[in-house]
Chain A
């Protein structure tokens, strides 16, 4: 069955970077796009960007442009989201999600990774 398993919780200091992984299994990794979405505590979902796992093309939300980098390792069936210049407002749960259906920012989601930014 399809699984997206994300890396564990992280605690980072302001100004640092964090890299979250999303390991896919149960389907052909390179056939679909992976989105990244975050959710601050008690807040709404916020779309960050996507990567075409096949050709590596990416698209980022204007809000995160310049601070976020999404990559993938096809040999490991894993996507990564790196966010730099962290600030306290970046404290959130970060989700990866596979897109199969057109026009959705993900039809199957990982379990989420809590990133806490604190001095």
Chain B
């Protein structure tokens, strides 16, 4: 199972929006509405930010939103704040009880 493809980096100024893409195949992202997004600060465990493409777990700010079109999912962070600076990983269910993660994107708040 190959990793999902994400851009290595993305950036924006405070208050702006940034969108991260996550491209898979018709066997994972394109076939299931089970795309999740994780935020990871240095030296910390990942934190779930989005599940089932666009749902937010309790406690996650509504500045975080997700969507999907075909084989590509996206995470948008609106109203960027300093604490949003982190690595972000997408993941997708890939069938037969398998999962796959993305290559990761480092978001920098300028």
Residues of chain A touching chain B, judged by Cβ–Cβ distance below 8 Å, are 35, 37, 44-47, 50, 59, 61-63, 95, 97, 101-112
Question: Please, how many angstroms separate the alpha-carbon atoms of A112 and B38 in the complex?
Answer: 15
Q: Which of A45, A62, A106, A110 contacts B48 (CB 8 A)?
A: A106
Q: Which of A50, A59, A95 contacts B46 (CB 8 A)?
A: A95
Residues of chain B touching chain A, judged by Cβ–Cβ distance below 8 Å, are 1, 3, 32-36, 38, 40, 45-48, 51-52, 57, 89, 91, 93, 96-104
Number of A-B contacts (CB under 8 A): 70
Using Cβ atoms and an 8 Å threshold, which residues of chain B touch A101? 48, 51-52, 57
Residues B97 and A103 in contact, CB atoms below 8 Å apart = no
Q: Which of A44, A59, A63 contacts B97 (CB 8 A)?
A: A59
Q: List 29 A-B contacts (CB under 8 A).
A: A35-B99, A37-B101, A44-B102, A44-B103, A45-B38, A45-B40, A45-B46, A45-B89, A45-B91, A45-B101, A45-B104, A47-B91, A47-B98, A47-B99, A59-B98, A61-B1, A62-B98, A95-B45, A97-B46, A101-B52, A101-B57, A104-B34, A104-B51, A104-B91, A105-B91, A105-B99, A105-B101, A106-B48, A109-B47
